[in-house]
Amino acid sequence: MDSELYDVTIIGGGPTGLFASFYGGLRDLKVKIIDSLPQLGGQLMELYPDKYIYDIGGIPKVLAKDLVANLVEQAAYSNPTICLEETAIALERLPDYFALTTDKDVHYSKTILLTSGIGSFQPRKLNVPGASEYEGKNLHYKVKSLENFKGSDVLVLGGGDSALDWSLMLEGVASKVTICHRREFTAHEMTIQQLQNSTVQVKTPYGIKEVIGDGEKIEEVVIMSKDKTEERITADHVLVNYGNVASLGPLKEWGLEMEKNSVVVNEKMETSVEGIYAAGDVCTHDGKVKLIAVGFGEVPIAISHIKAFIDPKARVQPKHSTSIFEEVK
Ligand SMILES: Cc1cc2nc3c(=O)[nH]c(=O)nc-3n(C[C@H](O)[C@H](O)[C@H](O)COP(=O)(O)OP(=O)(O)OC[C@H]3O[C@@H](n4cnc5c(N)ncnc54)[C@H](O)[C@@H]3O)c2cc1C
């Protein structure tokens, strides 16, 4: 447990949160970042790492993953404590600071900056009778370690990049890998080609009808073709890769003024609760548009007012970075 008191805890390590970490460093704040995903970068890394972005000022074209790599490097300036795979759940206001409860820990912070975008991402579940009772047993939504699948019969469900990538990675570890998808694969052409040249058994187009097990583990999965022909696939493990759904979830219960699923902020990027600020896609105000560039613009406003909130003697207007760094060419 980290019982240290931070100046600002940033909930969400997407582009806005990462830039806020850098800016927190510029204003000499002690920074923590919390994100429910296993990696930093928010939507850019989770949804479109290999797409080009064209509307960041001064950068004609950049791959989403390259922009994130630069942001992560820049964010390190504040030497932030980074907590990944941790979801913020409850927030309690104590007399002088906040106690933030996540699914793993309790964190203490003088202020909170919400940069949680469209919310935390959760895996899209396998929605067939009986499936949920095997979660955490032999029905998986994540691969924690390939070793867990060594010598096993694995059924992978899904048809995107991650389903195909895991199938190919499991090929060398598992005794047998089968991939089943109800449509054509949507992964990169090269990955589809690799799959076709592999020993992975392909079942498309097949939907999932039900899972059959003994209460402890799934033993068979019933799949069904378009003409309603049923087939039973035996499996030691079932790995589901149906992508993610995002939801603001518990943040909606924190008593903040909300408008259409977004947190309302004033011109200081302050929410309706003193000490809680918001920036990026999660927030709304008059004239708001949801873009990376807008999140970047909101960060210096939020962090400068956070600085002034913590230290009323501090200037709101930050010094220019050119005078802070004074690097000689
Ligand atoms: C396919 C696609 C293409 C796009 N192209 C462009 C483009 O060309 N230009 C552009 O400007 N914008 C584009 N966007 C929009 C852009 O990605 C968003 O505006 C941007 O990601 C918002 O950044 P953010 O940091 O505010 O939020 P996000 O990127 O959503 O990051 C929020 C982070 O908060 C985390 N989080 C949420 N809730 C919690 C919680 N309770 N606990 C812990 N962590 C939490 C999430 O896991 C996530 O990592 C595109 C979006 C998509 C989907």
C-beta neighbour count of 187 within 10 angstroms: 22
Q: Residue 295 CA: which ligand 1 atom is closest?
A: 26
Q: Strand 106-114 vs strand 276-278: parallel, antiparallel, or unpaired?
A: parallel
CA of 139 to the centre of ligand 1 (A): 28
141 and 53, same structural domain?
no
Phi-psi region of 196 (alpha: psi -120 to 50; beta: other; left: phi over 0): alpha
Among residues 195, 225, 240, the one where a domain terminates is: 240
Q: Residue 121 CA: which ligand 1 atom is closest?
A: 47
**What is the total count of domains within the chain?**
2
pLDDT tens figures, 219-275: 999 999 989 999 999 999 999 999 888 888 889 999 999 998 899 999 999 999 999
DSSP state of 272: S
280 and 132, same structural domain?
no
249 and 217, same structural domain?
no
* pLDDT, mean over the chain: 94
The Cα angle at residue 98 between residues 46 and 114, in degrees rounded to 5: 30
What domain range is 29 assigned to?
A: 5-121+244-328
182 and 33, same structural domain?
no
Among residues 173, 207, 240, the one where a domain terminates is: 240
99 and 158, same structural domain?
no
DSSP state of 58: T
Q: Name residue 92's beta-bridge partners.
A: 99
Q: Going by CA atoms, what residue is nearest to atom 2 of ligand 1?
A: 48
Q: Residue 115 CA: which ligand 1 atom is closest?
A: 26
Among residues 201, 224, 240, the one where a domain terminates is: 240
pLDDT tens figures, 121-152: 888 999 998 899 999 899 999 887 889 999 99
- C-beta separation of 131 from 211 below 8 A: yes
317 and 215, same structural domain?
no
In whole angstroms, give the CA distance from residue 248 to residue 89: 10
C-beta neighbour count of 247 within 10 angstroms: 14
Q: Going by CA atoms, what residue is nearest to atom 20 of ligand 1?
A: 292
135 and 90, same structural domain?
no
164 and 108, same structural domain?
no
In whole angstroms, give the CA distance from residue 43 to residue 222: 34
Task: Look up the pTM and report it.
Answer: 0.83
257 and 229, same structural domain?
no
